[in-house]
Every structure is written in structure tokens, then in C-alpha cells.
Amino acid sequence: MPLVANSSLPTFTRLREEGDSVLDPARARQQDIREMHIGLLNMMPDAALEATERQFLRIVSESNQIAQFYIHLFTLPQLLRGEKAAAHIRQYYETFDAIKAEGLDALIITGANVTQPSLADEAFWEPLIEVIDWGYNNVTSILCSCLATHAVVQFRHQQKRKKLAEKCWGVFQHEVIDRSHPLVNDINTRFDVPHSRYNEITQQQFEEAGLRVLVASPNAGVHLAVSEDLFRIVYFQGHPEYDINSLLKEYKREVLLFIDDKRDSYPPFPDNYFSQQVQAILLEHKSRLVTAKARKEPLPIFPEELIQSYLHNTWHDTGEAMINNWIGRVYQTTNSDRKKCFMDGIDPDDPLGIRYTRSD
């Protein structure tokens, strides 16, 4: 499914160079195909801002329903930005007011870095709630990623996320526990998903809130759940959008924090991600780095390029299939007027027509 390069955003050029389908607006107008307008509220910090654009735009573009995607990027002004990221946002992002004026078919909300013990104390809390409120009343479906999931469940259902004893970090096997839902139609019943978080909403919390859990892991907890109407809000706790090297880059950042004395201990490996060969390479690097650091000698270069070819992506295809199912159901239920949530005749409390036909 092609993206339409509706701005000069560098991410479009990058995706085109990497083989993804990106149409020029002139060519898109020649095709008699239904267009879809998807908002991406990007709350990620500066270092991950453009990578997050690429990850979500790529996984959207690779779904195979018949449509053209116009992606509308925006962020929250309460998030502190450096000069480079702020300039990028000014040039390529839209304002929330402009998005509200034009409307959306669907909305994706990313995670964010937190600095406060409680989400409600974050500077972005109130403006995020405003986006969520508007989205629920004006957009066909909202897809929440990680922290956005925690924020929405807290705001709408008063279920606060719980601190984990240790970071949930790595690639974990999951199982579809409700196979009847259209979002998990024709996907693998067991599959991997990356996670990277210090907190969680437990399966019990989701269920106490009246939400439907679709996919979970015995080690990483819930990955996929849906709102009580079974579609209008989709909750991810994992990261199916991650690139093959996303966890490697996170591990590298943790090593750099150790070098700069911003963490006390050398970081552990993400679970189930590095092969034994890669672990051996990284353990050798650790030994050399720790010795050089203690002796105040030049530090060895992190072997990122060497490791890249040994990494495996075991999650993307299934993640793509779930996004495909989500976009397909949005396509089938959204109004042709993107200022309206649904087609005429669609029940907002049961947009997929399955809520009241289930035996449970």
C-alpha cells in the first residue's frame, strides 16, 4: 500500500531509497483509489524522533489493503526539544489545531520518555489527554503504543501502570489468546514481539477495565488489547514497529551511559535477542572497554556494524499483518468524510458488528 509524499519530509526520501512504495502527489491523483488520512502523534525524544517516523510509516505502507496513505505528523509543544529536532518539527509537522480542522481516519500515538513518578505529573499529560479525547470522538480508531497505552488506560479506566521489578527488555514469544477477533485474523498464533519498558498494565488490570486482551506472553505480559467496543482504541505494550537493530541501538545507548558514569553497572543483554556469537563479541568488547576505562586509555569502538549482520528479525511479518488487519477494518468502517468517525449505519459501540454476537 503506497504512502503519498504529501510533504518534503526527509523520511519519505529515506523510505523510497530503502525500497518502500512512496508516490508523488501528482501520480497519486491519477489513481482512482480511496485515500486514507492517518495521524501520527510522535512524542519520542529527539534521538528517536525520525527513526520512529520511519518505523511507523514503513509498517503502515507495507500493509496490503487498497488505499493511499497520507500521514499527518504532529507532536506536543510541551515536550522539550533541541534546536535540530525543533527545526525538523517546524518544517515537516502539522499543528494539532490544523489536524482537528481537517480530520483523520485513524490515529497512531507513540510512546514517550518520562521524567516524573506519575504520568499525570508529566508536562505532556493534559495535552495528550486532549488529543485522546478528541481522537475518540472524531477518529475511527486510535492505535496506542507502549506509554500511550498506559496513559489511555489510566485516563479512561483509572488503572495505573505498575513498576516492574526489572526492565522488560528483549524479544519475547507471545500467543493469541482470543483467536476470534478480526485484528488477529490469519496471523501466526505464536509469534515474537520486542518489548522495552519499566512498567506494565497487567492482564488483570486490562480485564478489570472491561478491555479485551487478544495477545499475551507468559514472560512479557499483554501485548495487544482492545477497548470495550472491540475496535475504537487498540492497545500495544510491545513494539512490532521496531527495526531489526532497534534493540541493538538501545543496548549501545546503555553502554554509552555506563561510559559516561550515568549508570552504575554495565548493561545486561536484552532477552532472546543476541545470538551466542553476538554475545561473545559483546563480552569481548565489554572486557576491553572496562579495562580501558579503568586505565583512562582510549576506549574501543562499539562493534555495531560487525553485529548487524548477525541479528534476526522474528517479529516484523506478524506485526505487519496486525497493522494490515487494523487498517483494513478502518477502511471498511470509516466515513468518506474524514471529519466523521464512521460510515452511516455503523454502531459506534460495536463498529465491527461482533460485540453482541460473541458467546462470552
How much is the pLDDT for 199?
98
CA pair distance 24, 2, nearest whole angstrom:
10
How much is the pLDDT for 67?
78
How much is the pLDDT for 45?
97
CA pair distance 111, 51, nearest whole angstrom:
13
How much is the pLDDT for 332?
86
How much is the pLDDT for 18?
76
Q: Which residue type, as a one-letter code, is found at position 52?
A: T
How much is the pLDDT for 15?
84
How much is the pLDDT for 223?
99
How much is the pLDDT for 62?
87
Instruction: Please identify every residue annotated as catalytic.
Output: 146, 239, 241
In terms of DSSP bridges, do strands 141-145 and 106-109 run parallel, antiparallel, or are they unpaired? parallel
Closest residue by Cα to residue 114 from 139, 80, 144, 86 = 80
CA pair distance 175, 324, nearest whole angstrom:
18
Query: What are the helix (H) ranges across the chain?
Result: 10-17, 25-30, 46-61, 83-92, 96-102, 125-138, 147-157, 203-208, 246-259, 276-294, 304-308, 316-333
Tell me the domains of the chain and their CATH numbers: 3-242+313-333 (3.40.50.880), 246-308 (no CATH)
The torsion angle over the Cα atoms of residues 283, 289, 290 and 296, rounded to 10 degrees, is 170
Q: What are phi and psi of 248, to 5 degrees?
A: -65, -45
Query: Tens place of pLDDT for every residue, the chain, 360 residues?
Result: 567 888 999 998 988 787 666 878 876 675 557 789 999 999 999 999 999 999 999 999 888 656 789 999 999 999 999 999 999 999 999 999 999 999 999 999 999 999 999 999 999 999 999 999 999 999 999 999 999 999 999 999 999 999 999 999 999 999 999 999 999 999 999 999 999 999 999 999 999 999 999 999 999 999 999 999 999 999 999 999 999 999 999 999 999 999 999 999 999 999 999 999 999 999 999 999 999 999 999 999 999 999 999 999 999 999 999 999 999 899 889 999 999 999 999 999 999 998 876 655
Q: What are phi and psi of 323, to 5 degrees?
A: -65, -40
Q: What is the pTM of this model?
A: 0.91
Closest residue by Cα to residue 48 from 78, 79, 2 = 79
How far, in Å, are 93, 112, 216, 219, 226 from residue 222 at the CA level? 32, 19, 4, 9, 11
243: left (phi over 0), alpha (psi -120 to 50) or beta: beta
The torsion angle over the Cα atoms of residues 201, 167, 41 and 7, rounded to 10 degrees, is -150
DSSP string, 186-201: TS-SEEEEEEEEEEE-
